[in-house]
Amino acid sequence: MEIKALLYGITSFLLPHLPKLTSLKKEDAAAEAAVDKDSAHDAQALKWAKKIWDKVKNAPKTRLSFKEALNDIIESPSDPDALAAFRYQLRKYVETDPAIGESLKQLWLEMSSQGVGVDLSSSLTAAKWIDILNQNDDVLKRLEMVRLLRTGVPPETVAAQFHTDLNYLFRVHSAFSLNGVYGILSGSNILHWLDKLNKEDPILRRLEMIRLLRSGSPVETIANEYRAVKEYIYRLNNRFSANGVVAIMDENDFQKYRSLYPPYIKVCSFNLHGVHDEDPTRLKRIANELCVYDPDLCAYQEVIKGAGIEETSLQIADMMSGITGMYYRTQYGYCHMYMNKYPEGIAISGRYNLKNPQIIDLNKGLVEELHPLMDRYAAAAQFEIYGHKVIFASVHLDHSENPRIRYAQLEKLVKVLESTYGTDYHASIIAGDFNDTEDSVTIEYMTDIGYKDAYRHCHRTGGNTFNSTNPFTRIDYIMVKGKVKIHSAELILNDPKLSDHIGVYAVIE
């Protein structure tokens, strides 16, 4: 039992007896006899109070601050500040001599095992509280088991007293810790939160030790149940307090985590097709389906923001954050008006911090003084994923019949990305609606400078993304360059009710 918890109980127990205890003198037998007959005080409780006081009665004689705190609590027994001050002085005194603390602990355990508490009446005398109740009441028995365990009685002793085994005793204690009395109402159906999980899982066992400690269980009880030492349990709790679950994982846990979650970058691109007023659940359906793929980075096109509509990519990101428990950030860039009514643009979204996000102009400064039919921009940012620098951009290239415009837009985009973020990246990923087929000069330019078409890298044929009702051409791409391998790629979100485009998804190793 910890000294703080012990002294908390002792001060509360001594409080009603302090006036009598401080007026007693060993040589005054008559006064002592009078106290024992005094109906205002329970003789049995006072007997134990005197035993405890004998261990610390020299403190007021040698420590002025202790004496002052004692006088204050006697004069104002209902003052919480006075009680706290007395408890503090008592602790300081006990800490000067470990032998005092040990003797107090033994007295307290002996007293508790006999059922003596703070508010015993004279009719109880030496009886345990359960003795005057229905001793066959199973719930009361379980409560007594918990009480004894929490006051420091050895688990083996409690189990023997109630003719049960240690496993059942600890289950009762855990159920009480979780749900109070409600948790132990039924003896045959006492459930432990680990019952439906792997009880031998090291992380779960560590979490349960921490939970029990924080729920008030004595560290000795936890150590007995889990065959651990107290210092280890305190160490777990301190590390958990500082850094959460990660701090209580060991190398074996991390290896298991890495096997379940290899260092892949999962990327998707999807043209949201502006606004679908007839289907208010559309964005939620998109978010739900994307969460199945658990993407790290998302590129969106035809994103609406304005005209009474909250940014559609942000809505999707918020829903995905809620579903996955990950925090998806977004970067939006306005391009032009959609249907002369809705502000439309592009966006990137990721569950890593966006570093140096940029909206890149793809209208001015193009080679050959080319100009797109509509204003176009790209959204880009730098991410750090698994300790590596990753550049990610979302584009929606012009729909002009002149392919040189799209070529010029990509050429400018690549130059700006390299001048802004450098070329020391681990991976550079450009994804979106390129409005061009794979045999075009646009895609040829990308492959010539080292980018790989993720879908075509994994599939020799197929991959049409437009339109979703009758896909006849492939104009949506995820282009990848760097020190990475393309692990897999597929088409996703293939539903005309979601968009007129089909989404693209790639896993990059």
Q: pLDDT by residue (tens digit) across 422-434?
A: 999 999 999 999 9
Neighbours of 473 (CB within 10 A): 13
Residue for token digits 């051409």?
Answer: 473
Mean per-residue pLDDT, 251-280: 86
Confidence check: pLDDT of 187 > 90:
no
The better pLDDT of the pair 206, 80 is held by 206
For domain 262-508, give the CATH superfamily. Answer: Endonuclease/exonuclease/phosphatase (3.60.10.10)
Gap between the Cα atoms of 493 and 447, Å rounded = 26
Q: pLDDT by residue (tens digit) across 104-123?
A: 888 887 887 666 654 433 33
DSSP alpha helix (H) spans, 425-472:
441-448, 454-458
Amino acid at 359: I
Mean per-residue pLDDT, 368-394: 96
Gap between the Cα atoms of 107 and 99, Å rounded = 12
Token couple for 271:
């043209």
What pTM, to 2 d.p., does this model score?
0.61
Gap between the Cα atoms of 56 and 14, Å rounded = 12
Q: pLDDT by residue (tens digit) across 139-177?
A: 888 888 888 888 778 888 888 888 888 888 888 888 887
Burial zone of 454 (CB within 10 Å; 0-12 exposed, 13-18 middle, 19+ buried): buried
The better pLDDT of the pair 442, 180 is held by 442
HSE, CB side, 13 Å, CA atoms: give it for residue 88.
9
Contact between 366 and 409 (Cβ < 8 Å): yes
Q: Among the listed ranges 112-121, 223-232, 311-320, which one has the minimum average pLDDT value?
A: 112-121
At 468 the pLDDT is 95
Where do the structural domains in the chain lie, given as residue ranges? 3-113, 134-258, 262-508
